[in-house]
Structure 1
Amino acid sequence: MQPFRPYRSEQKFDCVKAVYGRQPQSQLRLEPSVSSPYSIDIAFIGHEETLVRVPGGSTYAKAIPAGTGAIHGAQQLEFVKVDSSSEFLELQPSLEVRETAANYFRAPSAVCFDNIQHVDDQVLWAVACRFRAHATGGWLLDELEAEELTRTLVGHMICTQLGGRRPRVNDAHLSDSRLAKLRDFVEASIKQPIPVKALADVTDRSLYHFIRTFTLTTGMRPHEFVRAIRMERAKEALLLGNRVKDVATAVGYVLGHSFYKAFYRHFGVYPSAFVNSLL
């Protein structure tokens, strides 16, 4: 494997802290990696032999296949020796996210997670790839999508690894009246950050029930629904001759480049090119 330059990114959202890193083997010899308590991580590069030290001094060797993850409880692990360069992503969900998921999926003790290794899970891999894209600047996350991804992952891990149980839900779809109420709420709050919990409250559903039923009903994730409304309002404002910078702020984007990327994903053209096409 070709060596690569070290890189580390820490991104704090309201509901999760995401740490992404690339470390050459030479750096790992000098600066051993340490897991964070109550976290979920994944190794994008596999290791045939890794030496791990646990609190108290005991050490053991293990292999880490590429694409596998781990769940960490209160106990921190120190990776004192690896056989190759490393690329990883670690997610540290907030206490509120862990408590909400543990209670909803009827596994109260899961709020503290547990030490589980070799988690080969496609949901974890997909969510980790999305956060990695954000960390490397390729496809930025907003607060709403980060929250949705984090809650989905934590709930999934609790159900598949930590003894949680999904409740039976008979009402699997949202009514037209609830969807209309939801759209009105987004329209009225379009300048502000809109957390998933606020959307769930509008429909009188629990967080996880809302995410599931919303997607079943509309075929969209909640963050995609909110982004679509923001983009439609942005287009209307541009058609009225407003400046791109002012439009971005008016539809809730603090960072201009985030607005540009969202607009391009929705319409296939950047805002400036869209404006020029009107001239």
Structure 2
Amino acid sequence: MSRTTPVEHINYWRHPSLSGIELSQAEFTHFSFDKHVHLDYHLGVVTQGAQQFINKGSHYQLGQHGLSTLNPDETHDGQSRDAEGYRVKVMSIPVDFMNAISQEMGQATHFFNAPIVDDPALYQYFIQLHNLLTQGQCTELEAESHLLNFMQLLLTRHPAGILKLGQDQGLSSQQLKLIKQKIHDEPWQNTQLEGLANEVNLSKFQFLRQFKQATGMTPHAYLKRVRLELAKKSLTHGTLVVDVAQQLGFFDQSHLNKAFKQAFLLSPVQFQRRML
């Protein structure tokens, strides 16, 4: 029997013993992710159908048996490859957590060379781990043991690469770092294009073009996404929605609600109820 209505559904979880780690499971048919970034590492698998996305200008397809390995602050989008849609399981790993594991293993700060690794064994292990953590029927010892074992296997089989910025990036790596740091440090500010351009001694037009060339996003889209990612973290810690909106520079709670739902398919209140 053919599906008559599109399915767009997402659920979020947080295991009580794994602070900062966010789990989600979704089914999408027509929903499409605009270009965006994350503050954390995002690992994910597709369990039905396939997802296609663009990462740093290259096209990829994530099907069954592949593991998505997206670095923080890496611009990408996402949509279903086929009309039937796809199902996906995702785990968000905080940077501090990843760095701690890397250091324990004697590795440098981790950077995945590619947004997908073809590793059927890790694919199956990730599904088992995700199910274990979202079903909420495991002890703290069991949860931490399986997570750390999975991360050790992942970082051993796919060790850290070297971050290489293209020569035609427009902004230098130092300039880009400066601008991004300013946005991350002061997300609540009513940031002006001219102010950002002045930071790197460029005209507004030059800065806009070069920032988009370097990141794949406009400064406004980048700032908006950083605010939304930070909103998720604040909501996870129980901050009231109205306070989150005020603290992160949204016009009001309604403005946050609209942007949040557009990005994550849930309202801030719905997300918070799932995470607390």
Instruction: Provide the TM-score with structure 2 as the length reference.
Output: 0.46
Q: Higher relative contact order by CA 8 Å / sep ≥ 6: 1 or 2?
A: 2
